[in-house]
Structures are given as C-alpha cells and as structure tokens.
Chain A
Amino acid sequence: MDLKKSNKDKDLVLVRRAKRGDYKAFDLLVLKYQSRIAGLALTFVKDRHLAEDIAQESFIKAFKSLESFREESAFYTWLYRIAANTSKNYLTSKKRKKEYSESEILSSEEASVDIFDIPGGDSPEEILAANNLREMIFESLSNLPEDIRTAISLREFEGLSYEEISEVLDCPIGTVRSRIFRGREIIQEKISPLLDNNVMLIRQSKRI
C-alpha cells in the first residue's frame, strides 16, 4: 500500500457539528488553532497583544460565516485566509502599510499554510521554551515501544487514517486507536512538567 496522505479534513466532524449550532464543537476548534492563528497574526502586526486580538476577531468572523464554508478546502486553510485578511485589514485601516512590505502580503497569499507557522513565540523565553518542549516531545516519541511509535509516526508524519494504519500494521482499527492514545499518554506524562514550567516562566517574563 502506498503511504499517501489521507485527504480527509480531520476537523470536518467538529465543523459540521458547529454548523448545526453546537458551540462546544467550535470551541474545540478555537482551542486547537488559537496559537497558530495568533502566530500568523503576529507575523503581520508584530505586536503580541494585537495578534491575540486579531486571532479573537478571526475566530468570531469564522463562526459567524461558518455557513459559507463549503468544505472545498480544509477548515484550517479557510480559517487561515480569514485571519490573514483580518490582519491585513487591520494594517490597512491603521494606514500602516508602509511598516511591512508588499512582497510579504503577496507571499502570504500564495504560500502553503505551514510556512507561516513560526517556531516559537516572540520573546527569547518563548523561543527557548518552544525548543525545549519540541526536543522533549521527540525524545519521548523515540523512547516509545516500537508498535506504539510506529502507529503514532504513521498518523503524525505520514498522515494516514486509522483504517490505513490498520492495513499497514495488519491489526484492528481499535488497536490502532488504542496504541496512538497510549503513545500520546506517555508523551503527555513526560512533557507535562516541562509544559507547566514553560507556561509559568513565560508568564513571569511578561510581568518583569
């Protein structure tokens, strides 16, 4: 079997639920994407608080126009466009166009989504915290039992669905789901102290 990425949008089940008026589903999408959307806004406005405000506004716009999401692209791609436009509108309205180059805008429209995911936050503490956390996640992954590590790798790096993984590993889908869960539990256990510490350090650094 080809290890080809499944094109299924992982968010559709939540999006469709949100479209039917269940805000709890949209809330999970906010939690999922808030950091990435704020990170995207930060590349435009260069101000952390503004980036948060723009992210907030982007999610509000997305929810209000959810009906117009036709599922022709991934939900995140659609959300990304809203956030990029909201950021640009902010800059335009503030007549701050000169503060960023036209080429940046053009490239952001053409670029694939992941290019604009920044590696960390805007402060040295955040960049250090993000790097440490990423290292810890990969270290935890490499120490997982082989069957679990394989299942997680096929999911995260190859983008295979549970069904596809079950075919590759020749095991039931339930086993795939269980292995991925157990792997994530082990990683969570390892990174939790660091994550708590990182959040605390970042907050402290902002109070200075």
Chain B
Amino acid sequence: MNEAIKERISALVDGELSEFELRRVLEEIEANPELRNYWMRLQITKSGLKDQSLGFLDMDISKRVAVELGENTGETEKSYPISKTQLYLASAVTAGLVLVVSGVFNFSEENLSPEELFASETSQQIAAAATSPQAMQVLDKALTGMDATLQELNSGSKGQIYANYRLPSNGKTFRVSLSPASYAFSDFGEGRAPKLAYLETKNGVYIISVSGNISSEQKSQILRNANFSLNNLK
C-alpha cells in the first residue's frame, strides 16, 4: 500500500484532512479494499486506546447498509428495473403458478434442481433470468409460510436479482437477493454477512442472502426454505 495515502487516511481518522485531499483519499479507498480495511483497523486501534468497545470485531455491516440504501459499492441493481408486466408475471408465479409455468418450459437438464436451473439460466441470459420461473421458484420456496408481498424486483448487470418484500401484518420490509458468488463476495466484502447461503453448481457458486427489517429468525428461516447450503460461508 502507498505510504502517502496511508498517512492521509491516518490524518482523516483525526479529521485533519483538507477537502482536496479528502476527495482523493475517498477515491483511493473505494478503489482499494486494503485501504478500506486499513481505515477499519485504525479505528480499532483508536477504540482500544480510548477504552471504547472492542466488541463485534468480526462484524462488517457496511455492505448491507449500502445495499439497503441502493448504494452498491460495485455494480448496482439500478441498471435493470423490471417492468410491471414482468413483475406481474413474477407475482403470479410466486402466488402459486409454479407448477403450471414449469410445465411449459422445456428443461434440458431434467436432473437439476430449480436452484441449479436458475443458476444456469443466469449465466446464459442475465436479464431473462431475473424473471425466469426458476428464479421465481427459488424465491417462492424461500418465502414459504411468510405471507409476504413482493413489491419490487430488480436485476443487476452481473446476474444479481433483488426481490423486495413487505409483510402486510406489520409493514416490515426485507430483501432477498440471488447473486453469482464472484459478485456476492465483493458485495459483502470480508466482513460478517451471516444471513446468506450458497448453491454450488457446475456453472459456479450462487448466493442467496436476506437483509432488511425482519428478525434474525425469519431471515434464517428464509435461507433454510430456499434449500441452499447453509454453512460457514461468508
């Protein structure tokens, strides 16, 4: 890492950076995850010296916050909003037409699970995959028993799908995301992102994650429902 940039980051920790320097430092940090990590570690050192909390050392919610605010640090889901017609289709499938739609599609890989078919679809045609019945099956399955309303569905340029839901009972909202692992790893960084599970296919690893204003138990239940593998993957 460049020493001069690190020195500027150290000065930024103390609020001693000029506006001009700040702009450059922010750009450098955005471009280099190591510098981001350096900033975090300087904060830990500072907290240690000031007898402040050193708990949650393994936690990093910054990516989750960014995603919730529509501020993906990498590619964003803003790129491909899904039309109302597509959303209607998605809602219909989610509402229970999975079997009918599945029957219409000609699955060339009959032995694959819906999750694997979804993964394959994503790698071939990103935009189409966002509204594919396979994707909807995954989402539908994940939301089993949740009585949630699908409000919005978006796709990202790298095959990510973001489905926003609302629980009519209490008005809480949450998001279920499906992403290729290469994107998901950069999306969540090295920090702790516990509400996710993965699916390993011959086309790569795919991640399902849940974020938003619902309980931890509900998030875990969604991941279990999705039937992706739950383990220590971060």
A residues neighboring B (CB under 8 Å) = 8-14, 17, 22-25, 27-28, 30-32, 34-36, 38-39, 42, 47, 49-50, 52-53, 55-57, 59-60, 63-64, 93, 114, 117-122, 126, 129-130, 133-134, 137-138, 141, 152, 155-157, 161-162, 177-178, 180-181, 184-185, 187-188, 191-192, 195, 198-199, 202-203, 207
Residues of A contacting B69 in the complex (Cβ-Cβ under 8 angstroms):
23, 60, 63-64
- Beyond the given pairs A35-B54, A60-B65, A191-B44, 19 more chain A to chain B contacts, judged by CB atoms under 8 angstroms and listed by A's residue number, are A13-B19, A17-B22, A17-B26, A23-B66, A28-B39, A30-B62, A35-B57, A35-B59, A36-B53, A49-B194, A52-B59, A56-B61, A60-B68, A119-B54, A134-B51, A180-B10, A181-B6, A184-B42, A192-B41
Residues in chain A near residue B211, CB distance under 8 A = 56
B7 contacts partner chain A, Cβ-Cβ < 8 Å:
yes
Minimum CB–CB distance for B13 against chain A, Å: 8
Question: B3-21 toward A: CB 8 Å interface, digit per residue (1/0)?
Answer: 0001100111111110100
The dominant DSSP class at the B interface is helix
In the complex the two chains form, what is the Cα distance from A34 to B42 in whole Å? 14
Residues of B within 8 A of A133 (CB): 44, 48, 54, 57
Q: Give residues 177-234 of B contacting A (CB, 8 Å).
A: 192, 194, 211, 213, 215-216, 232, 234
Chain B hits for A60, CB < 8 A: 65, 68-69
How many of chain B's residues touch chain A, expressed as a range? 35 or more
26 pairs across A/B with beta carbons < 8 Å? A10-B15, A13-B15, A13-B22, A17-B26, A24-B26, A24-B30, A27-B73, A28-B39, A30-B61, A31-B62, A34-B56, A34-B61, A34-B62, A35-B44, A52-B56, A53-B215, A63-B69, A117-B51, A121-B55, A138-B48, A155-B14, A162-B11, A185-B6, A188-B42, A199-B57, A203-B58
Complex Cα–Cα for A93 and B169 (A) = 13
Q: Are A114 and B68 in contact (CB under 8 A)?
A: no
A48–B149 CA distance with the chains assembled, in angstroms: 28
Contact B57 A121 (CB under 8 A): yes
Residues of A within 8 Å of B64, CB to CB, are: 56
Which residues of A have CB within 8 Å of B216? 47, 49-50, 53
A152 vs B45: C-alpha distance in the bound complex, in angstroms? 12
Contacts of A188 in B (CB 8 A): 38, 41-42, 45
Are B26 and A129 in contact, with the CB atoms below 8 A?
Answer: no
Residue among A36, A63, A177 making CB contact with B16, cutoff 8 Å: A177
- A195-B44 CB under 8 A given contacts A31-B60, A52-B59, A155-B14: yes
Query: Which among A24, A138, A198 is the interface contact of B57 at CB below 8 angstroms?
Result: A198
Residues in B with CB closer than 8 Å to A192 are 41
On whether the beta carbons of B61 and A59 are closer than 8 Å, the reply is yes
Q: Which residues of B contact A8 (CB under 8 A)?
A: 15
Q: Do B46 and A35 touch across chains, with their CB atoms under 8 A apart?
A: no
Partner pick for A120 among B14, B26, B46, B55, CB 8 A cutoff: B55
CB distance from A36 to the nearest CB of B (A): 5
The answer to whether the Cβ of B36 comes within 8 Å of any Cβ in the partner chain is yes
Query: Considering the chains assembled together, what is the distance between the CA atoms of A207 and B233 in angstroms?
Result: 11
